[in-house]
Structure 1
């Protein structure tokens, strides 16, 4: 493949943007990223004319692929042509809020913002304001955006910021625990229960491999929060309107949080975030309550129109049946390839999410119960060695994935997220032929 134009663009970008990018992960491909010129259904075409089958899908927002259905395109064009934005409410904000409240179990009220990070920042502030407590429990390896409360690392009682630029004092009230560890979270509540404002967790770790909860884990979190008057906050920025369909992951797992954060799909591919939850909690946001939250671009009419039209399309068409069936087909094919080529690796994912984690397991291949991705089923032969938390994924062969496997897949014309950790996505634009081609590429590259 020729990449001269991308190289020239990256050279220019390095002079005017830190690292040549506007989001750090985009610089991960070595020696330089390819620059995208346009999207086309399930593909992207780069500045040099190279065409890739796309499984990054904008890191999750593009459930429908790169080509907006006519109804979505019409809604976006209509609201864009009526004026960029107003600094005043619009009807479409109410329409989208009502749609989300009808379908997501935890949502009675919702506040729209501009990014997943802004949503989780606001949710943490809301939890602290509502409970009067300061401590926030998070999962090690979970990701909740670029915010000071959650950019931490360490063990309970020995926590420090995970990046420069954050005062040590900001980490004092954050308590990281391993995902899927009943004992660890129980001990934290025994010691700090009357100080905890919330437990903030992704229902499925989506930025550190794809790690599903073990049986009973979310129910245990729900019980602990209820017993100590803390809030359970699900970060569904990735899983929202992807896992569990319109009811989101919380409906899939049957556990209803007090507050849910959204992003990505709820904006139909445009910048968005949202905080939803019980009325008695959400009304603590200003102007109804005393927890300040505001934003110039919040509820942007074009974003609201794109989000509503996208979700309505999903409700009316076979979107979830299509993408989930393709996800199963892909993970089943990858499981067969891995069993033959690299039995120590683990295929993970659910619905339209997937990944192959380069684990170092010594046990046999995944059992039939996990043939379409690790389900944390205790009956699986791999159960004792499949990833249970972020540390398990971190112990995988990350350099092999990034330096050898990702470039090989790129040369096959398959665009994956450029590290071992971040999820990959099937879209409504993908076909069975795309899936079969992808499985064949994995077989050649593993």
Structure 2
């Protein structure tokens, strides 16, 4: 399968897009594939078909929102069509936004009140503003390698003693108030609290790093965050934009890992493939948002009726049709198969993920033995012989062979009809539309490509 040549439709579309769009794309990661991105014509179940008619088994799945795949079930499609037919939007409340809020609150224990917004970036920005307004403090702690959207409070990199903006256009003063620490490093977290505890409004983290390979939490890490926040009067903000209603099923990752956040941010799946975001948490905190409190949050498209309908029907379908058992079982099969392939052909690489998320990290060191190692991807088991080599932080992932993934591995997999996220850092997803036959063909492609290294 060849799509990247100067006669292809994708090449021509990208060449034209470069004259009209910045970098030819509307999100930076889409420009990663070399020499040009694939332009999609349409989706079919677990597959996408590009503008040249090439078909790929898709594990990007819109970067997470497409839990059900590209072909929506009739009930979801009908609900969306009815919402569009009734009128695109109103700027006035509708019953469907209340129903979706009720569904989320009924299934996520930490959430008593909800505010819908339009993206994960909006959700985390509002949650941080709420934490600062509620506590009267300015500093926040984020994780190195974590991702919470494209707003000034989180576009900061570095460490406790040396940090700065990660993008031009972000004032240095934001870096003064935002402190990155390594994920899974409880001692680094304690050091920040010992120095700035009375000034810290919140700790912001994902349940697992989902935009830096995939790094699962070590045992007790989230408990350490909870304890320190309680001790110093700070809030614990859990970013479930990626993991919400994907990891842990309807209870989300916080239920799976027994995490007790004060605030949670959602997006992706709760919109059923349409733009969405949400902030949820305890009533006493959430009531600080306007109009009941003094922390401003508002938006013309908040609670958009088409998005609300798509999200509600998607979640109801997932609940009624045992979607999570299907996608999680396929995820286990895929990761288990990758572990076997890696043992034979690339023992230095690390299989990561959980439930319906997966990734092969191009780490650089092999364990002395594979006896007793995690069988379906790294779960940060201290008794696993690979434990000391498995990435614990974002920096560990970025130290891998990231160029090999982008320049040689990704194109080789695409050539075999398997579409993965185009760099080492983005997560990959299994959908309800994937089948065991898809998994088998995907594993054959992984083995074919990795065996060429020998």
TM-score by length of 1: 0.99
Q: Distance in 2 between matches of 1:369 and 1:228?
A: 38
Aligned counterpart, 2:386: 382
Q: In the alignment, is residue 255 of structure 1 matched against residue 259 of structure 2?
A: yes
Q: Deviations over 1:179-226 (max 9, x none)?
A: 000110011111111000000000010000110000100011000001
Picking from 50, 62, 68, the partner of 1:64 is 68
Q: Distance in 2 between matches of 1:335 and 1:434?
A: 17
Q: Distance in 2 between matches of 1:267 and 1:319?
A: 17
Aligned counterpart, 1:301: 305
Given that 1:346 and 1:366 are in contact with CA atoms closer than 8 Å, whether structure 2 keeps it comes out as no
Q: Deviations over 1:269-299 (max 9, x none)?
A: 0000000000000000000100000000010
Aligned counterpart, 1:359: 363
Aligned counterpart, 1:26: 30
Q: Deviations over 1:326-374 (max 9, x none)?
A: 0000000000000000000000000000000000113236554511010
Q: Distance in 2 between matches of 1:402 and 1:105?
A: 40
Picking from 181, 186, 192, the partner of 1:182 is 186
Q: In the alignment, is residue 417 of structure 1 matched against residue 421 of structure 2?
A: yes
Aligned counterpart, 1:285: 289
Q: In the alignment, is residue 394 of structure 1 matched against residue 398 of structure 2?
A: yes
* Local SS of the residue matching 1:433: helix
Q: Distance in 2 between matches of 1:401 and 1:364?
A: 24
Q: In the alignment, is residue 311 of structure 1 matched against residue 282 of structure 2?
A: no
Q: Distance in 2 between matches of 1:97 and 1:368?
A: 44
In the TM superposition, residue 165 of structure 1 has moved relative to its aligned partner by: 1.0
Q: Distance in 2 between matches of 1:101 and 1:116?
A: 18
Query: Larger deviation: 429-438 or 369-378?
Result: 369-378
In the TM superposition, residue 157 of structure 1 has moved relative to its aligned partner by: 2.9
Aligned counterpart, 2:215: 211
Aligned counterpart, 2:441: 437
* Local SS of the residue matching 1:16: coil
Aligned counterpart, 2:46: 42
Q: Structure 1 367/186 Cα, relative in aligned 2: closer, same or farther at 3 Å?
A: farther
Picking from 123, 133, 136, the partner of 2:137 is 133
Q: Distance in 1 between matches of 2:238 and 2:373?
A: 27
Q: Structure 1 358/2 Cα, relative in aligned 2: closer, same or farther at 3 Å?
A: closer
Aligned counterpart, 2:20: 16
Q: Distance in 1 between matches of 2:274 and 2:62?
A: 10
Picking from 92, 97, 101, the partner of 1:93 is 97
Q: Deviations over 1:57-77 (max 9, x none)?
A: 000000000011111001100
Q: Distance in 2 between matches of 1:357 and 1:376?
A: 14
Q: Distance in 2 between matches of 1:334 and 1:154?
A: 33
User: How many residues are paired up?
Assistant: 446
Aligned counterpart, 1:120: 124
Q: In the alignment, is residue 272 of structure 1 matched against residue 272 of structure 2?
A: no
Q: Structure 1 367/296 Cα, relative in aligned 2: closer, same or farther at 3 Å?
A: farther
Q: Structure 1 403/223 Cα, relative in aligned 2: closer, same or farther at 3 Å?
A: same
Q: Distance in 2 between matches of 1:366 and 1:421?
A: 25
Name the Cα RMSD after superposition.
Answer: 0.8
In the TM superposition, residue 385 of structure 1 has moved relative to its aligned partner by: 0.8
Aligned counterpart, 1:164: 168
Structure 2: runs of 5+ lacking an equivalent: none
* Local SS of the residue matching 1:355: strand
Q: Deviations over 1:4-25 (max 9, x none)?
A: 1001100110001000000000
Aligned counterpart, 2:239: 235
* Local SS of the residue matching 2:396: helix
Q: Distance in 1 between matches of 2:321 and 2:277?
A: 24
In the TM superposition, residue 2 of structure 1 has moved relative to its aligned partner by: 4.0
Given that 1:344 and 1:365 are in contact with CA atoms closer than 8 Å, whether structure 2 keeps it comes out as no
Aligned counterpart, 2:338: 334
Given that 1:140 and 1:390 are in contact with CA atoms closer than 8 Å, whether structure 2 keeps it comes out as yes
Structure 1: runs of 5+ lacking an equivalent: none
Query: Larger deviation: 355-364 or 386-395?
Result: 355-364
Q: Distance in 1 between matches of 2:186 and 2:210?
A: 20
Picking from 78, 81, 84, the partner of 1:77 is 81
In the TM superposition, residue 391 of structure 1 has moved relative to its aligned partner by: 0.3
Aligned counterpart, 1:408: 412
Aligned counterpart, 1:7: 11
